[in-house]
A and B are shown apart, each in its own frame.
Chain A
Amino acid sequence: MTPDAAPTTRDMPVVEVDNVVTRFGPQVVHDGVSFRIGRGTLTALIGGSGTGKSVLLREIIGLQRPTAGNIRVFGTDMWNAAEAQTAAVRRRFGMMFQDGALFSALTVAQNIRVPLLEHANIPGDLLHPLIELRLAQAGLTPDTGNKLPSQLSGGMRKRAAIARALALEPEILFLDEPTSGLDPATARSLDALVRSLVDDLGISVLVVTHDLDTLLTVVDRIIVLADGHVLADGPAAEVTAIDHPWIRSYFAIRTMTGTQSR
Chain B
Amino acid sequence: MQDSTQPWCEIDASASPATLTLHGHWRLANTEAIWRELRVLRLQLPLCINADNLQDFDSTGALMLLRALDQAGISSDDVQWRALDAQHRRILSGVQRRLPATRNPLDTQDRSGILGLFARVGENAAALGTLLLGHLNFLGATLAAAAHLIVQPRQLRGKELTVQFEQVCVSALPVVALVTLLIGITIAYLLGLQAEKYGANIFVVDGVGIGMTREFAPIIVATIVAGRSGAAFTAQLGAMRLTEEIDAIRTLGLAPMQVLVLPRVLALVVALPLLVFVGDVMGILGAMLIADPLLGLTPSTVIDRLHGSLDITHFWAGLVKAPVFALFIAVIGCRMGILVQRDTRAVGLATTSTVVQSIVSVILLDAAFAVVFQELGI
Chain B residues in 8 Å Cβ range of A243: none
Q: With A and B bound together, what is the CA distance between A121 and B345 in angstroms?
A: 30
Q: Is B342 an interface residue (CB 8 A)?
A: yes
Q: With A and B bound together, what is the CA distance between A32 and B62 in angstroms?
A: 42
Q: Which of B142-174 contact A (CB under 8 A)?
A: none
Q: Is B52 an interface residue (CB 8 A)?
A: no
Q: Given A126-B67, A202-B90, A169 and B58 touching (CB < 8 A)?
A: yes
Chain B residues in 8 Å Cβ range of A131: 106
Q: With A and B bound together, what is the CA distance between A141 and B31 in angstroms?
A: 24
In the complex, 27 of the A-B residue pairs with CB atoms within 8 angstroms, ordered by the A residue number, are A1-B4, A1-B33, A2-B32, A4-B29, A4-B30, A7-B27, A105-B345, A120-B28, A120-B29, A126-B35, A126-B63, A126-B64, A129-B67, A129-B102, A130-B60, A133-B95, A136-B99, A136-B101, A136-B102, A141-B101, A142-B104, A145-B106, A146-B106, A148-B343, A150-B343, A169-B58, A199-B90
Q: With A and B bound together, what is the CA distance between A250 and B28 in angstroms?
A: 41
Contact A169 B28 (CB under 8 A): yes
Q: With A and B bound together, what is the CA distance between A26 and B237 in angstroms?
A: 37
Looking at chain B, what size class is its interface with the partner chain? 35 or more
Chain B residues in 8 Å Cβ range of A105: 345
Q: With A and B bound together, what is the CA distance between A169 and B341 in angstroms?
A: 34
Q: With A and B bound together, what is the CA distance between A6 and B55 in angstroms?
A: 11
Name the one of B32, B59, B91, B345 contacting A122, with C-beta atoms under 8 angstroms.
B32
Name the one of B4, B35, B104, B107 contacting A123, with C-beta atoms under 8 angstroms.
B35
Contact code string A148-192 (vs B, CB < 8 Å = 1, else 0): 111000000000000000001100000000000000000000000
Contact A104 B101 (CB under 8 A): no
Closest to A196 in B: B94
Lowest 6 CB-CB distances: which A-B pairs, in order?
Answer: A200-B94, A136-B98, A132-B102, A150-B343, A121-B32, A169-B28
Contact A123 B31 (CB under 8 A): yes
Q: With A and B bound together, what is the CA distance between A230 and B106 in angstroms?
A: 46
Contact A202 B32 (CB under 8 A): no
Name the one of A122, A132, A133, A202 contacting B87, with C-beta atoms under 8 angstroms.
A202
Question: Distance in Å from the Cβ of A137 to the closest Cβ of chain B?
Answer: 6
Looking at chain A, what size class is its interface with the partner chain? 35 or more
Contact A130 B345 (CB under 8 A): no
Contact B91 A120 (CB under 8 A): no
Q: With A and B bound together, what is the CA distance between A122 and B64 in angstroms?
A: 11
Name the one of B25, B56, B94, B343 contacting A104, with C-beta atoms under 8 angstroms.
B343
Question: Distance in Å from the Cβ of B132 to the closest Cβ of chain A?
Answer: 24
Contact A200 B27 (CB under 8 A): no
Q: With A and B bound together, what is the CA distance between A198 and B269 in angstroms?
A: 63
Q: With A and B bound together, what is the CA distance between A133 and B95 in angstroms?
A: 7
Q: With A and B bound together, what is the CA distance between A7 and B30 in angstroms?
A: 13
Q: With A and B bound together, what is the CA distance between A188 and B344 in angstroms?
A: 29
**B residues within 8 Å of A by Cβ?**
1-4, 25, 27-33, 35-36, 56, 58-60, 63-64, 67, 87, 90-91, 93-95, 98-99, 101-102, 104-109, 341-345
Chain B residues in 8 Å Cβ range of A148: 343
Question: Distance in Å from the Cβ of B62 to the closest Cβ of chain A?
Answer: 9
Name the one of B4, B25, B31, B341 contacting A7, with C-beta atoms under 8 angstroms.
B25
Contact A104 B102 (CB under 8 A): no
Q: Is A201 an interface residue (CB 8 A)?
A: yes
Chain B residues in 8 Å Cβ range of A2: 29-30, 32-33
Contact B91 A126 (CB under 8 A): no
Chain B residues in 8 Å Cβ range of A145: 106-107
Contact B94 A1 (CB under 8 A): no
Contact A6 B1 (CB under 8 A): yes
Closest to A146 in B: B107
Name the one of A122, A136, A150, A202 contacting B341, with C-beta atoms under 8 angstroms.
A150
Chain A residues in 8 Å Cβ range of B36: 123
Question: Distance in Å from the Cβ of B12 to the closest Cβ of chain A?
Answer: 22
Q: Is A256 an interface residue (CB 8 A)?
A: no
Chain B residues in 8 Å Cβ range of A135: 102
Name the one of A3, A126, A142 contacting B31, with C-beta atoms under 8 angstroms.
A126
Closest to A131 in B: B106
Name the one of B59, B90, B99 contacting A169, with C-beta atoms under 8 angstroms.
B59
Question: Distance in Å from the Cβ of B343 to the closest Cβ of chain A?
Answer: 4
Chain A residues in 8 Å Cβ range of B25: 4, 7
Q: Is A84 an interface residue (CB 8 A)?
A: no
Contact A4 B101 (CB under 8 A): no
Q: With A and B bound together, what is the CA distance between A102 and B61 in angstroms?
A: 26
Chain A residues in 8 Å Cβ range of B341: 150
Q: Is A143 an interface residue (CB 8 A)?
A: yes
